[in-house]
Amino acid sequence: MGSLANCAGPFVCFQSVLRAVPITQVMSFMPLLLARTFDDGFTTRPARLMPSYILPKWLQYICLVGVAISIGSPAFAAPQNDARTTPLVKAIKGCSLSVVNLRGRKTVASDIGSKSESKQVNGMGTGVVIDSRGYVLTNYHVVQGVKRIEVTTSDRQKTTAKVLAHDPETDLAILKIDLPRELPTIRIGSSSDLMLAETVAAVGNAYGYEHTVTVGIVSQLGRTVQVNEDQVYRNLIQTDASINPGNSGGPLLNLNGEMIGINVAVRIGAQGIAFAIPVNDALEVAADLMKNLTAQRIAHGLKTKTVIVDNKAVLFVDSVAPNSPAAASGISKGDRILSVGDRQIRNRLDFECALVSATENKSGKAFPIEVSVEHGKSKMTVAINVNKVTHHVSDMAWGSLGMKLVRADDALMLDRHPTYKHGLQVVNVRPGSPADSEGILAGDVLVAMAGYKTESLENLQWVLEQPDLDQQSSFMFYILREKEPFWGKMRVATRKFASGN
């Protein structure tokens, strides 16, 4: 009798043969092996199907184990590079983690017969992560008027978002979501080299079906579309990829998995006519929105410009303000910006997002920001000692509400009303302002607005700096006139200030 070690040869050889044989042939061979292996009382098959002198019974058991191992081996798994793993499949897989789904409720006007009423409707949309700290780009019409924006990530985590900035003319908005981890960012392509009939894919929250993927082509470029009296889109990408309600704000991708557009509109009543904002245009608007946030926190003196070089975005210094922190650092016009801190820079949006990151949780009136540039043929890293910008709450209230306010005397408040112990007294009202439109007069005392008490100027500043304040169609305010309390509704004028958090 041979030793067990001698069985290794037949076993390995048998397994190797199995790996080279199609699974259908292996399975057709199995009954023969099983018939002989279990012929003692379990089958009436003739022994001649697998004569015992070919393989001893103990060796047949080993071979049976070899069959099981072989079937579970990678030889029987789907090939890693089979025909199904197309560039489109790879593109969608690469972007899915940076697409978020948005939901919320908003109030819309509804005409019922001869009456005009308002009703609550469910809204849905899509957003793309443009910065790993939770900054999201979407369409403004997706979040306009929504008080609570619910966000679902691709891995089913749920959170809420707040609107930091928006541009109604281009229908774009920047949101901020807070999660305990960094988020994957969307890969950015270019819309400057798009080709007619190029394959594209749309990803979005179509009719609430999250992360729906549709495929089409670039049908035409440079379209102008007027959707209503107030909204005109220009230079749009036309595509026949299916875009449905809920797709707005989601990415239009090329086969490299790069975002080349933001899905925005569809032609009602038509088939296969939809539109997207070119990514190059969207990034410039998004950069302006982020710049508005950083400009309210720091002053550096740099003006930058994105230039497309060999179909790749490159950021250059367009100008340097005299006597600014940037001028003192040695940066000059024409320098190419490579990085801010540890963040690589490709375009204006990268630059503004990096500045937001660099200014978070900073104390003091000034602090340095490291910027690496390409100056001629050499590279250098400089420190820009940026200055923090401070706003006076009195200017904020005058610009947003049209009121000059001071803290009301405590004795005056005690005499006016026993419930309200503190407030802000109106000393002047700007004609034509929101306060003037609501009949607020000098001498009135503002005691609350937008659901918060206004017992001090610090309270008022915090309320005015809330980025979603101008998202509300109106907010409640409460005043004391002599000894009588009054309430009303107003909305802020064009926002001059916003929170950068």
d(CA 73, CA 405): 77
**Residues pairing with 162 in the sheet:** 176
The SS3 assignment for 239 reads strand
Burial level of 423, CB count in 10 A (0-12/13-18/19+)? buried
Averaged pLDDT, 272-284: 95
Provide mean pLDDT across the span 237-254.
95
First-to-last CA distance in the chain? 80
3-state secondary structure of 56: coil
Higher pLDDT, 389 or 442: 442
Share above pLDDT 90 across residues of the chain, in percent, rounded to a whole number: 43
Which is more confident, 179 or 71? 179
Q: Report the b/e string of 30-65 with b at 16+ CB within 10 A.
A: eeebbbbbebeeeeeeeeeebeeeebeeebbebbee
pLDDT tens column, 295-317:
767 788 899 999 988 878 899 99
198 found inside a domain: yes
Please say if the pLDDT value at position 19 is more than 50: no
Structural contact between residues 332 and 317, judged by C-beta atoms closer than 8 angstroms: yes
**Looking at the 3D structure of the chain, how many domains does it have?**
4
Are both 344 and 265 inside the same structural domain? no
What pLDDT, on a 0 to 100 scale, did the predictor assign at position 352? 92
The answer to whether the beta carbons of residues 373 and 317 sit under 8 Å apart is yes
Mark which of 56, 76, 96 sits at the end of a domain.
Answer: 76
Say if CB 327 and CB 321 are below 8 A apart. Answer: yes
Q: CA 261 → CA 120, 190, 227, 237, distances in Å?
A: 30, 9, 18, 8
User: What mean pLDDT comes out for the span 238-257?
Assistant: 95
Torsion of CA 411, 417, 423, 429, to 10 degrees: -100
Rg (CA), the chain: 33
**Are residues 346 and 203 located together in one domain of the fold?**
no
Residue 263 and residue 121 share a domain: yes
Report yes or no on 286 lying in a domain.
no
Can you give the pLDDT at residue 248?
95
Percent of the chain residues past pLDDT 70, beyond the cut: 76
Average pLDDT over residues 279-303: 87
Same domain, 97 and 182: yes
Q: Which of 70, 98, 131, 141 is catalytic?
A: 141
Categorize the per-residue pLDDT at 222 as very low, low, confident or very high, splitting at 50, 70 and 90: very high
The answer as to whether 157 is a domain residue is: yes
Query: Based on the domain organization, do 134 and 170 belong to the same domain?
Result: yes
Question: Is 219 among the residues known to form the active site?
Answer: no
Of 211, 244, 277, which one is at a domain's C-terminal end? 277
CATH of the domain at 189: 2.40.10.120
* Average pLDDT for 217-246: 93
Are both 95 and 224 inside the same structural domain?
yes
Residue 264 has pLDDT above 60, yes or no: yes
Is 290 inside a domain boundary? no
40 with 95, same domain: the answer is no
Matching residue, tokens 């009703």: 119
The pLDDT-based confidence of 165 (bands split at 50, 70, 90) is: confident
Q: Which of 93-107, 270-284, 356-370 has the lowest mean pLDDT?
A: 356-370
CATH code of the domain containing 471: 2.30.42.10
- Residue 197 pLDDT more than 50? yes
- pLDDT tens-place string over residues 128-162: 999 998 999 999 999 988 888 999 998 889 999 98
> How confident is the model over 425-438, as pLDDT tens digits?
998 998 888 998 89
166 included as an active-site residue: no
* Locus of tokens 């969207």: 282
Last residue of a domain, one of 24, 46, 76: 76
* In contact, 175 and 127? CB cutoff 8 Å: yes
Residue 174, pLDDT > 80, answer yes
Mean pLDDT of 253-272: 93
Q: Is 339 considered catalytic here?
A: no
> pLDDT tens digits for 82-97?
789 999 999 999 999 9
Q: Could you tell me the CA-to-CA distances from 326 to 265, 299, 340, 367, 375 in Å, in that order? A: 41, 9, 13, 13, 14
Catalytic residue among 70, 131, 166, 171: 171
What is residue 14's predicted lDDT score, i.e. its pLDDT?
A: 33
Q: How would residue 46 be classed by pLDDT, with cut points 50, 70 and 90?
A: very low
pLDDT of residue 57: 59
Domain span including residue 56 = 4-76
Task: Supply the pLDDT for residue 235.
Answer: 96
Has residue 497 been placed in a domain?
A: no
Residue 233 lies in a domain: yes
Q: Looking at per-residue confidence, does 408 or 265 come out higher? A: 265
| Catalytic residue (choose from 70, 98, 191, 248) | 248
Question: Phi and psi dihedrals of 195, rounded to 5?
Answer: -115, 140
Residue 162 lies in a domain: yes
Kindly state whether residues 257 and 204 are assigned to the same domain: yes
Q: How confident is the model at residue 170 (pLDDT cuts 50, 70, 90)?
A: very high
pTM for this entry: 0.67
Looking at the fold, whether 452 and 477 belong to one and the same domain comes out as yes
Q: Are 200 and 257 within one domain? A: yes
Q: Is residue 495 part of a domain?
A: no
Pair (142, 268) in one structural domain:
yes
> Nearest Cα to 50, choosing from 66, 33, 64?
33
Q: Domain check: are 273 and 321 in the same one?
A: no
- The token duo for 140 is 């403004």
